[in-house]
Amino acid sequence: MTSPVVDTVNLVKIYQNGAVPVPAVRGVDLRVAAGEFVAIMGPSGSGKSTLVHMLGGLEARTSGEIWLDGQRADTLNESAWALLRRKKVGFVFQFFNLVANMTVADNVELPALLAGASAREARQRRQYLLGELGLTDRADAAPSQLAGGEQQRVALARALANKPSLLLADEPTGNLDSRNTRDVLRLLGEVHRDGQTVILVTHDARVAGLADRVVALFDGEIVDDGTIGMARRRPKATVGDVVELRG
Amino acid sequence: MRPLLMALLAKEPAHGYELKQALEQIFGNAYPSPNIGQIYVTLGRLEKDGLVRVVDVEQSNRPNKKVYYLTAAGRESLDTWVDEPTEGPRVRDDFFMKLVLAPMTGLADRMTLINRQRRHYLALIRDLNELAERIDPENRVALLLVEGAMLHLQADLDWLERCQEDLS
Ligand SMILES: Nc1ncnc2c1ncn2[C@@H]1O[C@H](COP(=O)(O)OP(=O)(O)O)[C@@H](O)[C@H]1O
Ligand SMILES: [Mg+2]
């Protein structure tokens, strides 16, 4: 059997707020197999961002273990984490974190170039991703010239530049209108069909609807974890299950 | 279904099967289309209430066709329907009642109820995603219906979270 893409053992994060300890993640065991699409849900403050940041090595754990593709990751130093991310993890931050003094195109191409892609490969991949997200004509802009929703899509394009085997995303549609959300959904669906593993935090019903598994957090603990089936076993669902037209 | 049929008849007189086809054409596969029996039952009730009337139209080599048309009273009733403020769609408060009452009586705990309901909403959303893929992209009405249902589910999910925050 191949190792899970992500495996955490009793993962804990306690922030220190001055002298006050703030337990944000309290003993999470999460195992995700290759190709799964997992939606992490839960109220604000339940530890969702902290969890995915730890999975991406962007926040150090307090205790517990993180294994990625069978490799112990929580004990890595920062440069080893950076190398690991470059090779197989794409991360979409809630607040984008684009490089301010680089163009949109360079922001998206950089990860591919760092990972050893040729300039031509990096450019083609960038053109494809920006095209899919409706951002082709923003390629030469600086991040500061973009609206929030545009920056968010650039952040997604950057995260996907290396075709990461694991995509981690923290509310990747939080700033998008419904049209742009549709582009993002289409791309995420494609990433999933290509067999990449996706773990994303979301409140967005449409995004969560793409997932085959939901993990619900509450107060830093997993309170629900299960696959999402179809609601109706009969083949033809309609909106009548949700809204009833009067009459 | 009454106002829907009356509205279609306000456009032009029609027989039952034509009404069914018109509904299917407008809403596509987004909304469950009534069966022909339900349509005739509703037409019968409208007739009894004096809102529609039926005439037999002779057809060559076929049995007579029953064609329905809207009466003046029907037109008035339809105007009232259009002019009055519209109640929101069904509020599914049944779940909320369970959530409030079940723990009091030891029937279930809240976390279990909330988790089950969340999965149910997510499954409905998956159904809708799949439905949306089958809808003809030209059918704006059907797509808007799906989008509306999606937005309701979004509100349901958000409300679920609020319940979890405040009741747990
Ligand atoms: N850098 C930090 N320092 C102190 N406390 C933090 C920090 N980041 C998050 N927290 C706290 O940790 C808890 C979980 O936060 P977070 O992971 O951001 O939750 P979520 O993403 O589900 O809203 C919250 O109580 C939050 O206030
Ligand atoms: Mg967060």
A122 within a domain of the structure (yes/no): yes
B133 to chain A: closest CA residue: A186
pLDDT computed for residue A94 by the predictor: 85
* pLDDT value, residue B117: 92
Answer yes or no: is A247 within a domain.
Answer: no
pLDDT tens track for A74-112: 999 999 999 999 889 999 988 878 999 999 999 999 999
Write the CA distances from A218 to A42, A80, A204, integer angstroms. Answer: 6, 31, 17
Non-local (6+) Cβ contacts of B159 within 8 A are none
- Are the C-beta atoms of A188 and A210 separated by less than 8 Å? yes
Residue A198 parent element (H or E) = strand A197-201
pLDDT value, residue A58? 93
Give me the phi and psi of A146, to 5 degrees please. Answer: -100, 150
Cα–Cα dist B21/B25, whole Å: 6
CB pair distance less than 8 Å for B164 and A206 = no
Which of these, B108, B112, B107, B52, lies nearest to B77 by C-alpha position? B52
Question: Residue B61: its pLDDT value, please?
Answer: 82
Q: Is A48 close to ligand 1, i.e. is its CB under 6 Å away?
A: yes
- A134 in Cβ contact with A84 (< 8 Å): no
Question: Residue B84 has what pLDDT?
Answer: 84
Owning domain of residue A95: 6-242
User: Can you give the pLDDT at residue A237?
Assistant: 72
Facing residue for A209 by CB, picked from B3, B126, B168: B126
- pLDDT tens digit sequence for A176-194: 887 788 889 989 999 999 9
Residue A242: pLDDT over 80: no
Query: Tokens standing for A146?
Result: 């973009």
Mean pLDDT, residues B53-80: 90
| Rounded distance between C-alpha atoms, residue A198 and residue A167, angstroms | 5
Q: Tell me if chain A has a CB within 8 Å of the CB of B157.
A: yes
Predicted pLDDT of residue B89: 60
| B81 — pLDDT class (breaks 50, 70, 90) | confident
Indicate whether A1 belongs to any domain.
no
* pLDDT value at A1 more than 70: no
| Of residues A43, A58, A242, the one with CA closest to residue B89 | A242
Q: What is the DSSP letter of A74?
A: T
Looking at the DSSP bridge assignments, the partners of residue A72 are A67
Q: Is B118 on the interface with A (CB under 8 A)?
A: yes
Q: Is A18 a member of any domain? A: yes
* Per-residue pLDDT at A137 exceeds 60: yes
Q: Residue B34 in contact with residue B51, Cβ under 8 Å?
A: no
Q: What is the predicted pLDDT for the residue at B90? A: 57
Predicted confidence at residue B98, as pLDDT, reads: 86
Cα–Cα distance for residue pair A109/A122, rounded to 1 Å: 5
| Whole-number pLDDT of residue B7 | 92
For the CA atoms of A233, A234, A237, A240, the dihedral, rounded to the nearest 10 degrees, stands at: -100
The per-residue DSSP string of chain B comes to: SHHHHHHHHHH--B-HHHHHHHHHHHHTTTSPPPPHHHHHHHHHHHHHTTSEEEEEEEETTEEEEEEEEE-HHHHHHHHHHHHSPPPPS---THHHHHHHHTTTTTS--HHHHHHHHHHHHHHHHHHHHHHHHHS-TT-HHHHHHHHHHHHHHHHHHHHHHHHHHHH-
- Count CA atoms within 13 Å of residue A150 on its CB side: 18
Query: By CA distance, what is B116's nearest residue in A?
Result: A224
pLDDT band, residue B63 (cuts 50/70/90): confident
The pair of structure tokens assigned to A201 is 């935090």
pLDDT at B109: 86
Distance A46 CA to ligand 1 centre (A): 8
Confirm or reject: Cβ of A49 under 6 Å from ligand 1.
yes
With a cut of 60, say whether residue B92 has pLDDT above it: no
Residue A13 has pLDDT above 90, yes or no: yes
Please determine, for residue B142, whether its predicted confidence score (pLDDT) is greater than 60. yes
Whether the CB of A45 sits within 6 Å of ligand 1: yes
How many CB atoms neighbour CB B166 within 10 A? Answer: 8
Distance from Cα A162 to the centre of ligand 1, integer Å: 29
Mean pLDDT confidence for B43-64: 91
CATH of the domain at A145: 3.40.50.300
- CA distances to A64, A77, A90, A113, B106 from A60, rounded to whole Å, are 11, 10, 18, 27, 41
> pLDDT tens digit string along A17-75?
999 999 999 999 999 999 999 999 999 999 999 999 999 999 999 999 999 999 999 99
Q: Is the pLDDT of residue B21 over 80?
A: yes
Burial class (CB in 10 A: 0-12, 13-18, 19+), A178: exposed
Best of B27, B84, B113, B118 to substitute, by most chain A Cβ atoms within 10 angstroms, is B118
Number of domains chain A is built from: 1
Q: Considering chain B, what is the average pLDDT of its residues?
A: 88
What is the pLDDT at residue B88?
64
Gyration radius from chain B CA atoms = 22
Predicted pLDDT at A234? 55
Answer yes or no: is A167 within a domain. yes
User: What residues pair up with A166 in beta bridges, in sequence order?
Assistant: A89, A197
Average pLDDT over residues A115-126: 94
Residue A20 belongs to a domain: yes
Distance A52 CA to ligand 1 centre (A): 12
Tell me the pLDDT of chain A averaged across its residues.
92
Average pLDDT over residues B26-52: 91
What value does the mean pLDDT take over residues A197-213? 94
> What is d(CA A105, CA A146) in angstroms, rounded to the nearest whole number?
13
A100 CA to centre of own chain: 21
